Amino acid sequence: MNKIIPDLNPKNLFKAIFTLYMLVGMHFNMEHVGGYGLYLPFNIIGWMFVSLLIGLGFWQIGKSGKISFSQFHCLCWIGFGLMCLPLLYPNNEYADFAVMRLLGLSGGLLLYLSFQQYQFTRKECYWFLYVILGSVLIQIFLSVSGPLLSTVNFLGITLDPPFGALAQKNIIATFFATGAVISLFLLLNDKSSICSNFKLGIIFSVPLLACTQFYSLQSRTGVLALSFGIGFMLVFGFQKNKKVFLWIGSVLIGLLIGFKTPYESRPAKALDYSENTRMLTYQLTSELIKNNPLFGVGYGNFLSAFRLHYAQRKQEEPSLKTIGNSNMDHPHNETMFWMVEGGIIPLTGLLIIAGGFLIMLWKVKKKEAWAMAGLITPILIHTQLELPFYLSLVHWFIFIFLLYCMDEEYGIWHEAKIRLTVFIHIIAILLPIIIISYMATTLQTARAITRFERTGFSKPSLLVSVKYPRAWQKKYETLVMKLDLGIAKQAKDYKKLKDYIDWAEGYVKHSPYLFIYYDLATAYQAMGDKEKAWEIYRYAQYLYPGAKWHDELNSKGN
């Protein structure tokens, strides 16, 4: 009987949940309205798994009566503390919008702490890496099988090709690139793979199959991440080995197959627009940082500050490239994001974390340590070109685990005794319960609001069914207020119109969305104040050069 039933000790349970998340949970998807963070259902599901792993970490602390931690991890907490300081700044009026970001960061550090409590051996870390490669193969299958799987819809759960649960092309491209670099690392370091055809099969199939996808994805970020990741690994960890040359050959064959495979190319105009927009975004963000070096523009205020700054610069310099009407709430560079909103202190926190990592590798004085750093290169590069940690929890999860692997191998470790073990066990139980309950209500909110939009906003009862919209507050709030505005205009209810106007004028201060300005202008029209309506229109046109709703507003005004 003992041979049939596995030993469900915390460590084995931790491994099982890790495996279940990577091979099943991360691939879950359902219809959604887009966005990032908890607006994406696969991230909601992911936090449920992460909460269980964090709970198991605390359980192990309580069980052993001690807490294990590394010097680098302590520096991470110091850096995180500095990144929280802007919450106390005088310009923190909209800091509430940054709270979820900080909670996600702290959740990652708690996950890191949980990994540390089990002190996985090198062999166990390699096993986890093979599990990650398994998840890469699953995503490759889902990408290739997209047209067939697009017809599958069971209870609203879909396999949404071509990117499924990885949101967009750059996200899946760096996921594949990370998988390829991990496979090369295992080939160079896992001696047991030589005696296992199964392991070798995984190691060689991942780069071959993943690289067939890069041309169809047309992700410059992915190609850059793959190139730097492989280059970093080969420069510091190259071994004159026939299998290494075979691995490089599999990459080249994969790229060649992908190049010869028909795919729908992106128009050159779209590529130019993407590049121009990104460079202009960096330029304008740099100007904002220069104008607000100490305190930044305030946590949660980038969207408003950036849009206003762009409008001012566009007016001063009409030849400035057009950014379009998209809502730019992240500068597509994680370092700049913390700097522009929080100023010099969050940057100091990031530098402490980065410095601690580099010092850890420098002290070892081994080329193998720097080669291992190549594991995080694809995702790290992606963070400086986009916002992967907001679009894909699994990128954050894998990044944390890879950092832990390096810390486990080369870091300086400490232990401290813990006396209040009962209290720690209570946390271990309550924390996952609270987080899973919150995520379950968020998933219900996501499903209800998505159905409401998919049915053409015709079933307000779906909004009424939302139990706890906290994570979706902005989306939920705008939908409810838009419904109220429609009713108020139809019934000529001036009180409700005034309520909408008061709400919208406060809302656009932190989230100056174009559609809110449009509805605000029509609300003033319905009140009979056409002059104010046109004032709103002209200001919206100033913020969004080229916005095309003049004719519609004019026709409604007459």
pLDDT of residue 134: 97
**336-388, pLDDT tens digit by residue?**
999 999 999 999 999 999 999 999 999 887 888 888 999 999 999 999 999 99
* pLDDT average, residue stretch 16-28: 94
pLDDT level of residue 4 (50, 70, 90 thresholds): very low
If you count them, how many residues does the chain have? 558
Three-state SS for 284-326 is HHHHHHHHCCCCCCCCCCHHHHHHHHHHHHHHHCCCCCCCCCC
Using the 8-state DSSP alphabet, how is residue 518 labeled?
A: H
CB 456 within 8 A of CB 486: no
CB 510 within 8 A of CB 97: yes
Tokens of 110: 């708690």
- DSSP, collapsed to helix, strand or coil, labels residue 34 as coil
317 CB neighbour count, 10 Å cutoff: 9
Q: Does the pTM of the predicted model rise above 0.75?
A: yes
First to last CA, the chain: 82
pLDDT level of residue 555 (50, 70, 90 thresholds): very low
pLDDT of residue 6: 44
Distance CA 489, CA 495 (A): 11
Could you give the percent of the chain with pLDDT greater than 70?
A: 89
Cα separations (Å) of 180 from 18, 221, 223? 20, 15, 12
Q: Would you say residue 61 has pLDDT above 90?
A: yes
pLDDT level of residue 218 (50, 70, 90 thresholds): confident
* Residues forming beta bridges with residue 67, ordered by sequence position: 416
* pLDDT average, residue stretch 207-231: 91
Distance CA 553, CA 558 (A): 9
Tokens of 94: 């909209």
Q: What is the residue whose two structure tokens read 């009424």? A: 464
Cis previous bond, 162, omega within 30? yes
Pairing of the two strands 157-158 and 413-417: unpaired
CA 401 to mean position of chain CA atoms? 16
- Single out the residue of 302, 335, 292, 338 nearest to residue 84, CA to CA: 338
Tell me which of 201-210, 212-221, 401-410 is least confident. Answer: 212-221
Q: Would you say residue 546 has pLDDT above 80?
A: no
Cα separations (Å) of 259 from 181, 317, 498? 21, 41, 58
* pLDDT average, residue stretch 322-330: 79
Distance CA 120, CA 199 (A): 20
pLDDT of residue 154: 46
- What is the pLDDT of the chain when averaged over all its residues? 88
**139-198, pLDDT tens digit by residue?**
998 888 765 555 555 444 444 444 456 768 899 999 999 999 999 999 999 988 888 899
**398-434, pLDDT tens digit by residue?**
999 999 999 999 999 999 999 889 999 999 999 999 9
Q: What is the residue whose two structure tokens read 């009566």? A: 65
Q: Would you say residue 274 has pLDDT above 80?
A: no
**What sign has the CA pseudo-torsion 331, 335, 337, 339?**
negative
pLDDT level of residue 275 (50, 70, 90 thresholds): low
Tokens of 336: 């700049």
Could you give the percent of the chain with pLDDT greater than 90?
A: 70
* pLDDT average, residue stretch 310-323: 89
**278-310, pLDDT tens digit by residue?**
889 999 999 999 999 999 999 999 999 999 999
Could you tell me which residues come within 8 angstroms of residue 497 by beta carbon, excluding any fewer than 6 positions away? 485, 488, 489, 523, 526, 527
DSSP one-letter string for 253-270:
HHHHHHHHS---PPPHHH
Distance CA 24, CA 280 (A): 39
**505-515, pLDDT tens digit by residue?**
999 999 999 99
Q: Going from the N-terminus, what domains does the chain have, and what CATH number goes with each?
A: 469-557 (1.25.40.10)
pLDDT of residue 2: 42
- Continuous segment of H or E residues that includes residue 415: strand 413-417
pLDDT of residue 34: 83
Cα separations (Å) of 174 from 69, 112, 159, 244, 337? 29, 21, 20, 22, 20
Distance CA 164, CA 30 (A): 9
Q: Would you say residue 3 has pLDDT above 50?
A: no
pLDDT of residue 153: 52
